[in-house]
DNA sequence: GCCAACGTTGGC
DNA sequence: GCCAACGTTGGC
């Protein structure tokens, strides 16, 4: 699949960084990807599920880079969630998200920042080819296609929320006080619990 | 293996 | 534009 849009939250800053000194800004991962299982660590629970269980997630994107409307307008209302270059988020993409899981679509750096829509995982973790595309803004020269470091999933738009649920509302809601979105900054993919999921949905409907 | 320097995310 | 939080890198 060809990716013409440079994607998601990463992209804007990527362009910025790519211009001045094409290659110098390369963070990233020399170590081989960590392997399953995650039986310890604070996110261990999100990698296990009872049979048939559906889990919930949230992905962030800057709306002027790739908004929920853009996703709804995309072919098959689907996109690959590429360019994530953070190992924690990578682990969720590679090992956490499963077919049929539901995902909140969050607009970051927006006015206001808010959860605006719902999408669904339609393809499970697979290598993010942009990592070894030397022309891509998020090219990672240390990433070996034989042993991929970075992964992505495909997500498909399900529907827009009846009303967006803004970050201030989320922060003001006691039932959401433990949400990874607010407890852990800077992660572009985070887990959402089932109760957080229902709380946000309910907020969007009143 | 510690930790200082540095880079990035993203709210404000 | 500022800066808090925190991941990553590299010197030692």
What's the rounded Cα separation, in Å, for the pair A161 and A34? Answer: 35
The residue that minimises its CA distance to C1' of B11 is: A109
Residue A171: nearest nucleotide (C-alpha to C1'):
B11
What's the rounded Cα separation, in Å, for the pair A59 and A10? Answer: 12
Contact partners, residue A143, CB within 8 Å, separation at least 6: A28, A29, A131, A132, A149, A150
Residue A182: nearest nucleotide (C-alpha to C1'):
B11
The CA distances from residue A164 to A41, A115, A135, A168, in Å, are 32, 6, 36, 12
* A61 CA → B1 C1’, Å: 36
Per-residue tokens: A1 = 């699949």
* A176 CA → C2 C1’, Å: 27
Report the predicted TM-score, pTM, of the whole model to 2 decimal places. Answer: 0.83
Looking at residue A38, what is its pLDDT?
55
Is residue A73's beta carbon less than 7 angstroms from any atom in nucleic acid strand C? no
CB distance A161 to A104 below 8 Å = no
Across the range A177-181, mean pLDDT stands at: 94
Average pLDDT, chain A: 82
Across the range A177-198, mean pLDDT stands at: 93
Residue A61: nearest nucleotide (C-alpha to C1'):
B10
Decide if domain A53-204 falls under CATH 3.10.590.10.
Answer: yes
Is residue A185's beta carbon less than 7 angstroms from any atom in nucleic acid strand B? yes
Bases along strand C below 7 A from a protein CB:
4-9
Looking at residue A181, what is its pLDDT?
95
Could you read off the pLDDT of A55-109 as tens digits, one per residue? 999 999 999 999 999 999 999 999 999 999 998 999 999 999 999 999 999 999 9
User: How confident is residue A8, by pLDDT bands cut at 50, 70 and 90?
Assistant: low
What are the boundaries of each domain within chain A? 53-204
């Amino acid at each position: 699949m060809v990716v013409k849009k440079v994607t998601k939250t990463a992209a804007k800053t990527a362009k910025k960084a790519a211009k001045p000194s094409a290659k110098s800004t390369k963070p990233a991962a020399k170590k081989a990807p960590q392997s399953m299982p995650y039986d310890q660590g604070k996110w261990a629970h999100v990698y296990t599920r009872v049979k048939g269980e559906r889990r919930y997630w949230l992905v962030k994107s800057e709306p002027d880079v790739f908004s929920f409307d853009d996703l709804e307008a995309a072919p098959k209302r689907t996109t690959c969630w590429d360019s994530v270059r953070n190992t924690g988020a990578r682990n969720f993409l590679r090992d956490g998200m499963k077919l049929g899981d539901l995902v909140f679509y969050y607009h970051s750096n927006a006015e206001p920042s808010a959860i605006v829509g719902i999408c669904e995982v339609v393809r499970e973790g697979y290598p993010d080819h942009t990592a070894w595309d030397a022309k891509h803004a998020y090219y990672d020269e240390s990433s070996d296609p034989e042993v991929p470091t970075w992964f992505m999933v495909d997500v498909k738009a399900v529907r827009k929320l009846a009303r967006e649920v803004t970050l201030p509302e989320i922060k003001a809601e006691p039932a959401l006080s433990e949400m990874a979105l607010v407890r852990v900054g800077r992660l572009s993919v985070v887990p959402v619990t089932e109760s957080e999921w229902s709380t946000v949905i309910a907020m969007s409907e009143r």
